[in-house]
């Protein structure tokens, strides 16, 4: 069974003193040190990044990583917008299925804060359709339209959304690698400025720098001697139209539904078997879609469930969601996000989540979305 | 055995009337029609592209392709500069090794001619190291430095390089999909303007638009009934430092040597078993490096062999190289190139290369390089 045997993430945040290469190097060194491994034990590297070509004039990362590490092994760069990390992990797992007794690194990194918010926002918008870009839409606008449909259809208010951000900021306060460690009140969220109605600043994940790395292995001996390990029970990818106008409905992320169904079928598990989940809350509404589309919550019940904060750490409930702080508070360095999500589930499953450790976390799920739902990845870990 | 069962390429050239999406759509429709297949028979897609994010504000291609095709299957975008196509094919083959009885599309596309040569050249330079970019180096400059070392070390002249371009333009004249179909003389090449000494305009591959697509399958029934098929005997990737200054020697592409050694070992074949090869001649000097590093020619003999035109169609020799016209004459739409190379070998092995058909082509090799040699991919097909 392919297993995660190591994880490291840099601080997420505005890391102006660190370059893109610094972040990659820190995450790779960190995960090797954490796992007491040498780079010579790594057979291939899967690297997730979205924006370095656009923002940093930096493409062909494989050979840049080869130079940093001094290796000649296969290195693959994968891009699927904000789902780059989850997709890289998926391909890495797939690689090991045909390479028994091998070990790979999965690294995600993004450097986003050295540019004006406009430059970064425009670069991010390149993951939308050409028509949507020409109409002046960026991702807050696209998710705002979906949020409008959802709130209208199920008779919820902006306050229902606010409880997602409230919870995730509380979780972020427990995670020393999170971009934001400050708790916020529902009132503060509701009073924050509109970005695209009904989404306000405090409904949106931030622009962050950061890098995260995982060691994934199919080497039984290596897995046996690892201090921490979690088996990969499923990793599934699905796609959907890039354009919102091509979708049958706007109150769901259909690609999530497909990927989740495949992942649960493959693992022979059900949503209620999950004790922790990291879901893609790029905006507060996105966590509600995720919870419904993953099968945790009944369609249309998400606003109510969000307001009840049923997935909050300390609630004593069976499923705690986004213990890392989610994209909202942990931060969203795009290429790193999907790796950090799987890494957080790994920390929970291996009892390394310290002050946010969920009890009896035997099984967990990570859910990573690209753009407005054009790509979705669902990963299930267990032990 | 994983086999190529279909191939289609668009025209390569300055295709101002066609968009990036048009090219992708034409190549996908073309390969499906060619192979009498329906899109519902495709289980996943691997997509190679380098520059659409930078030049076209166009990232997250997987969901754009999902929209074009109306599918929800896994779609993966891979980027390794000019080796993107070869790497995408490698990952597709790997995918099928753990997915028996499945079929995938491998598509490469690039839209490069809608921009000023300066914009495109700068975008391409993002595959070089930051330090090299800051020094004002672009790829003609990097390969020129390597060419200077080679010519000096082995006492060759610019005329030796010119025979590579001469041959490849002759081959291009036989390929109706080639960007340049005009034969050129050695004298014309030697009189063309310097780009970066010793490389002149006619030593350099052009900036092109184009898309190419392959169908790759591990489905025995589908392979059995395919009209044309070639088995994938090896596909290997290696990396090297991005920076020339990090290399031990400048008269070789070391990553090619590693990938070739692995590919020949894996296939249990030798260079002399190859009857056709498509090698990465982004510059004339690069074909000489390729021929030496792949083991076809002894190190240092390449200038002499090039001048003897031993690999030219019609020479009657055992190995004919770059029958498509190579990057030089067939054109170099970056993401498509690696797919077109494998596609050309497939055409030769399945007796579909019409007026440039090499007799008894039972085995062939494709060789794709990223940047100044930071990535190399070697693929061997046979039947």
Q: pLDDT tens digit string along B318-366?
A: 999 999 999 999 999 999 999 999 999 999 999 999 999 999 999 999 9
A50 contact B CB<8A: yes
Confidence band of B1 (pLDDT split at 50, 70, 90) = confident
Average pLDDT, chain B: 97
Task: Determine how many CB atoms are found less than 10 A away from the CB of residue B99.
Answer: 17
Q: Is B60–A254 a contact, with Cβ atoms under 8 angstroms apart?
A: no
Active site residue B82: yes
Residue of A39, A42, A53 to mutate for B, most B C-beta atoms under 10 A: A53
Q: Is B241–A87 a contact, with Cβ atoms under 8 angstroms apart?
A: no
Q: Given this model, what pLDDT does residue A22 score?
A: 97
Q: Is B90–A72 a contact, with Cβ atoms under 8 angstroms apart?
A: no
Residue of A80, A239, A266, A377 to mutate for B, most B C-beta atoms under 10 A: A239
CA-closest candidate to residue B63, choices A110, A372, A245: A372
Per domain, the residue ranges of chain A are 3-115+208-230, 128-205+231-382
CA distance A140 to A84: 19
The C-alpha of A74 sits at a distance from chain B's nearest C-alpha, in angstroms, of 5
Asked whether B276 and B319 are in contact (CB, 8 A), the reply is: yes
A57 contact B CB<8A: yes
Q: Given this model, what pLDDT does residue B320 score?
A: 98
As annotated, the active-site residues of A are 82, 332
Residue of B55, B60, B73, B130 to mutate for A, most A C-beta atoms under 10 A: B60
Sole residue written with tokens 């057979």: A43
Asked whether B324 and B208 are in contact (CB, 8 A), the reply is: no
| pLDDT, tens digit, 9 for 90 and up, residues A304-335 | 999 999 999 999 999 999 999 999 999 999 99
Instruction: Read off φ and ψ for residue B345, nearest 5 degrees.
Output: -65, -40
| pLDDT, tens digit, 9 for 90 and up, residues A6-17 | 999 999 999 999
Q: Token pair for residue B221?
A: 């029934």
Confidence band of A67 (pLDDT split at 50, 70, 90) = very high
| pLDDT, tens digit, 9 for 90 and up, residues B78-97 | 999 999 999 999 999 999 99
- Looking at this predicted complex, what is its ipTM? 0.97
Mean pLDDT computed over A218-227 = 97
Q: Given this model, what pLDDT does residue B17 score?
A: 97
B204, B332, B363, B367: the active-site residue: B332
- For residue A315, what are the contacts with CB-CB under 8 A and spacing of at least 6? A309
Residue of B47, B52, B74 to mutate for A, most A C-beta atoms under 10 A: B74
Strands A363-370 and A276-278: parallel
| pLDDT, tens digit, 9 for 90 and up, residues B173-222 | 999 999 999 999 999 999 999 999 999 999 999 999 999 999 999 999 99
CA distance B190 to B202: 8
Closest residue in chain B to residue A81, using alpha carbons only: B60
Mean pLDDT computed over A240-266 = 97
- Measured between beta carbons, the chain A residues lying within 8 angstroms of B97 are 97-98
Mean pLDDT computed over B64-72 = 95
**SS3 state at A15:** coil
| pLDDT, tens digit, 9 for 90 and up, residues B107-148 | 999 999 999 999 999 999 999 999 999 999 999 999 999 999
Closest residue in chain A to residue B48, using alpha carbons only: A78
Q: Is A50–B64 a contact, with Cβ atoms under 8 angstroms apart?
A: no
Interface list for B 219-238 with A (CB within 8 A): 236-238
Q: Is B126–A81 a contact, with Cβ atoms under 8 angstroms apart?
A: no
Mean pLDDT computed over A163-176 = 98
| pLDDT, tens digit, 9 for 90 and up, residues A108-131 | 999 999 999 999 999 999 999 999
Length, in residues, of chain A? 383
The partner residue sitting opposite B370, judged by closest CB among A53, A63, A98, is: A63
Task: Give CA A303 to chain center in angstroms.
Answer: 22
Q: Is B239–A74 a contact, with Cβ atoms under 8 angstroms apart?
A: yes
The partner residue sitting opposite A62, judged by closest CB among B76, B239, B246, is: B239
CA distance A86 to B76: 11
Confidence band of A90 (pLDDT split at 50, 70, 90) = very high
Q: Token pair for residue B333?
A: 């739409």
Q: Token pair for residue B366?
A: 């494709």
Checking phi first, is residue A15 left (phi over 0); if not, alpha (psi -120 to 50) or beta? beta
Confidence band of B383 (pLDDT split at 50, 70, 90) = confident
Same fold, B3-115+208-230 and B136-205+231-382: yes
Q: Is B242–A73 a contact, with Cβ atoms under 8 angstroms apart?
A: no
Confidence band of A27 (pLDDT split at 50, 70, 90) = very high
The C-alpha of A140 sits at a distance from chain B's nearest C-alpha, in angstroms, of 17
The partner residue sitting opposite B72, judged by closest CB among A72, A76, A239, is: A239
A244 contact B CB<8A: no
Q: Is B60–A370 a contact, with Cβ atoms under 8 angstroms apart?
A: yes
Asked whether A179 and A169 are in contact (CB, 8 A), the reply is: no
Strands B363-370 and B276-278: parallel
Q: Is B80–A81 a contact, with Cβ atoms under 8 angstroms apart?
A: no
- For residue A366, what are the contacts with CB-CB under 8 A and spacing of at least 6? A86, A277, A278, A279, A338, A341, A342, A344, A345, A377, A378, A379, A381
Helix, strand, coil percent values for chain B (each to nearest 5) = 45, 20, 35
Q: Is A60–B127 a contact, with Cβ atoms under 8 angstroms apart?
A: yes
The partner residue sitting opposite A371, judged by closest CB among B60, B255, B370, is: B60
Interface list for B 143-172 with A (CB within 8 A): none
- b/e map of A56-86 (b: 16 or more CB within 10 Å)? bbbbbbbbbbbbbbebbbbbbbbbbbbbbbb
Closest residue in chain B to residue A124, using alpha carbons only: B59
Q: Token pair for residue B306?
A: 């090039």
Q: Is A72–B238 a contact, with Cβ atoms under 8 angstroms apart?
A: yes
B288 contact A CB<8A: no
pTM score, two decimals? 0.98
The partner residue sitting opposite B63, judged by closest CB among A58, A76, A371, is: A371
Question: What CATH number belongs to A128-205+231-382?
Answer: 3.40.47.10
Q: Given this model, what pLDDT does residue A1 score?
A: 87
Residue of A58, A60, A111 to mutate for B, most B C-beta atoms under 10 A: A60
The partner residue sitting opposite B59, judged by closest CB among A126, A236, A258, is: A126
Q: Given this model, what pLDDT does residue A69 score?
A: 94
The partner residue sitting opposite A60, judged by closest CB among B64, B81, B95, is: B81
| pLDDT, tens digit, 9 for 90 and up, residues B271-283 | 999 999 999 999 9
Asked whether A296 and A277 are in contact (CB, 8 A), the reply is: yes
Q: Is the CATH number 3.40.47.10 carried by domain B3-115+208-230?
A: yes
Q: Is A62–B374 a contact, with Cβ atoms under 8 angstroms apart?
A: yes
B244 contact A CB<8A: no
Q: Is A258–B72 a contact, with Cβ atoms under 8 angstroms apart?
A: yes
Which one is the CATH code of B136-205+231-382: 3.40.47.10, 3.30.420.10, 3.40.50.10540, 3.20.20.140?
A: 3.40.47.10
Q: Given this model, what pLDDT does residue B169 score?
A: 98
Q: Token pair for residue B379?
A: 């693929």
Asked whether A177 and A118 are in contact (CB, 8 A), the reply is: no
Q: What are residue A367's DSSP bridge partners?
A: A378
- b/e map of A153-179 (b: 16 or more CB within 10 Å)? ebebebebbbbbbbbbbbbbbbbebbb
């Amino acid at each position: 069974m392919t297993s995660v045997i190591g994880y490291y993430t840099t601080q997420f945040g505005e890391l102006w003193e660190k370059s893109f290469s610094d972040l990659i190097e820190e995450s790779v060194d960190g995960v090797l040190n954490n796992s007491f491994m040498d780079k010579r034990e790594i057979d291939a590297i899967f690297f997730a990044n979205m924006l370095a070509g656009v923002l940093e004039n930096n493409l062909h990362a494989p050979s840049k990583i080869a130079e940093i590490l001094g290796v000649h092994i296969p290195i693959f760069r994968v891009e699927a917008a904000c789902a780059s990390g989850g997709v890289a992990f998926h391909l890495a797992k797939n690689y090991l299925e045909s390479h028994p007794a091998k070990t790979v690194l999965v690294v995600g990194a993004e450097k986003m804060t050295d540019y004006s918010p406009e430059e970064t926002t425009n670069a991010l918008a390149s993951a939308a359709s050409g028509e949507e870009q020409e109409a002046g839409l960026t991702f807050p606008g696209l998710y705002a339209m979906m949020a409008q449909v959802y709130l209208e259809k199920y008779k919820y208010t902006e306050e229902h959304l606010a409880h997602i951000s409230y919870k995730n900021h509380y979780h972020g306060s427990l995670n020393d690698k999170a971009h934001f460690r400050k708790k916020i009140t529902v009132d503060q969220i509701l009073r924050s400025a509109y970005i695209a109605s009904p989404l306000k600043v405090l409904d949106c994940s931030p622009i962050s720098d950061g890098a995260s790395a995982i060691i994934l292995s199919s080497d039984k001996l290596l897995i046996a001697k690892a201090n921490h390990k979690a088996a990969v029970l499923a990793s599934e990818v699905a796609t959907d139209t890039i354009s919102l106008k091509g979708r049958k409905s706007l109150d769901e992320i259909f690609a999530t539904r497909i990927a989740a169904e495949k992942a649960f079928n493959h693992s022979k598990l059900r949503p209620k078997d999950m004790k922790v989940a990291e879901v893609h809350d790029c905006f507060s509404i996105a966590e509600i879609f995720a919870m419904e589309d993953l099968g945790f919550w009944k369609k249309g019940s998400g606003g109510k469930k969000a307001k009840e904060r049923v997935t909050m750490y300390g609630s004593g409930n069976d499923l705690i969601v986004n213990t890392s702080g989610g994209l909202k508070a942990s931060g969203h360095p795009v290429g790193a996000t999907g790796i950090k999500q799987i890494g957080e589930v790994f920390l929970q499953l291996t009892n390394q989540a310290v002050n946010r450790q969920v009890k009896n976390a035997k099984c967990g799920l990570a859910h990573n979305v690209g753009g407005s739902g054009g790509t979705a990845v669902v990963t299930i870990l267990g032990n």
